[in-house]
Amino acid sequence: MHIDLGSALGATPGVSRDSLERLDEQVATAHERIQAGRRNSEHGYAALNLPDTVDLDAIRGAVAPFDDPAAVLTVGIGGSALGAATLADALAGPADPDAYFLDNVDPEHVSRLLASLPLDRTVVNVVSRSGTTAETLANFLVVREAMADAGVDWTERTLVTTGESGNLRDLADKHDLPSLSVPDGVPGRFSALSTVGLAVAAIQGHDIDALRAGAAEAADGLSGSLFETPAYAYGAATYALAGRGALTNAVMPYTERLETFAEWFAQLWAESLGKDGLGQTPARALGATDQHSQLQLYRAGPRDKLVTLIRPRDRPDFGIPATDLDGLSYLGGSSLGELLDAEFEATEASLVESGVPAIRVEIDAVDGRSLGSLLYEMEAACVLYGELASVSTFTQPAVEWGKRAARGLLGEGGFEEADAVDERTSLVVE
C-alpha cells in the first residue's frame, strides 16, 4: 500500500507536516502497545498475527471435498461475510465458481436468490463464531430446507466455520461436516485473512498463499513511525483529521473490483472506532460513478469530510475506438484506463482546489499479494487510530445491545433490551 498525504496538508480541515511530526511520538508509543498485544496474542491484537497463525493447509483440506462447484453461497453476516465478499469480488475471474452472500434476512431477496442457484452444484459456507447468530442460523435453516426440497443432500454440500462450541459446532460433529475453526481473539471484522475470509477464495481456486504473503510483508513493515509505515500514516492522518473536524471518511475506490472493499472498510471503521462519542463515519463511493453524484457534496458541502481515493497502479485496459463525433475526437486512441486515471487525478485536484482533504491510497495491482497487504494495513491503521483515540477498538457493545433486543422480540426470555421497543415515542404522519 502506498500512501500520499499531500492533498491533506493545508486543507480545511487539514494537517500540517509539523503536526504529523509531533503526532509521530504518539504513534511510536501506540506501536509499542500494538506489538505487545501481538506478542501476547491479546484479544483483537491477535488479528495482526494472522499471517503467521492462519492454517492454510486446514483451509485447503476443508474445501477439498467440494469438487468443481458452480457456486458458493456464504451464509453469514457482518465480518462473517464481508471479508470473503471483498476477496471474491476483487479476485473474480470468468472461470471461477460464482460467489453469493446471504448476509441479510430480507425474505424476498433470500427466496429469489435460492430460486436462481443450481443447488445441486452449490457449496454452502455457513459462518458464525458463536453458532447462535440469529440471522445466520435462520438463513441456514431456510437454505437447508430448500436443498432438501430440491432433492439435494445438504450434508454433502455444506462447510461450517465456527467456534469450538455452539449450535454449528454440534451440527458439524453430528453430521461429520467439513469444518474450520474461527481463530481465538480475532473479532469478525478483523477476520478477512483467517479461515473466515479465505475459505471462499480457496473454493474459487484463488492463491491464498499470495494473500498471506502480502499480509506478511505488511506485518513485517510495521515500525514506530508514520513516516515509515503506510498503515500508520493512514491511521494517524485520519485520526488527526477527525480531531480537526473531518468526521466523515468517504472511501472512493477507482476500480469496481474494490467496491465491496469499501463496504468491508465501512464495518471495520464504524464498529471499531465509534465509541464514547468519538469516531469517523465511513461513507462508500465509487469512482468515477460517484463523481456525478456525491462529489458535489464533498467539494461544496459542509467542511466535515475526508475523501480517501484508492486505485491500482497496474490494471487491465481497454482501448477506446476513434470517432468522428464532434467534441469527442480527443477520446479516440486513448483507453478506458487512461480515462479512469484522468478522472481520479481530476477528482483529487478538484478537492485540493476547494480545500477539502484527500488521501491517495495506491496498490500495485488488484491481485492476491496486494489485497492481502491492503486488508492487513487497513486493519493496522484502524488499530492505531483506536490507540491514539483511546477507544476500545475490539468491542461492539451497541451491536450486541441490538442483538439482544431482537432475540427478546422473537420470544427468547431474559433480554430486557426488548422492553425499549415498547417505550419508543411515536409521531405518526399518514
Residues with catalytic roles: 271, 292, 403
Find cell 485536484 and name the residue. Answer: 349
Burial of 212 (C-beta count, 10 Å sphere; 0-12/13-18/19+): buried
CA distance 141 to 167: 12
| Residue 367: other Cβ atoms inside 10 A | 18
CA distance 355 to 344: 17
Contact status, residue 169 vs residue 162, Cβ threshold 8 Å:
yes
Q: Provide the strand spans (E) within 88-154.
A: 98-102, 122-128
What is the SS3 string spanning 273-340?
A: HCCCCCCCEEEECCCCHHHHCCHHHHHHCCCCEEEEEEEEEECCCCECCCCCCCCCHHHCCCEHHHHH
Burial of 18 (C-beta count, 10 Å sphere; 0-12/13-18/19+): exposed
Instruction: Kindly write down the DSSP assignment for every residue of 369-388, as one continuous string.
Output: HHHHHHHHHHHHHHHHHHHH
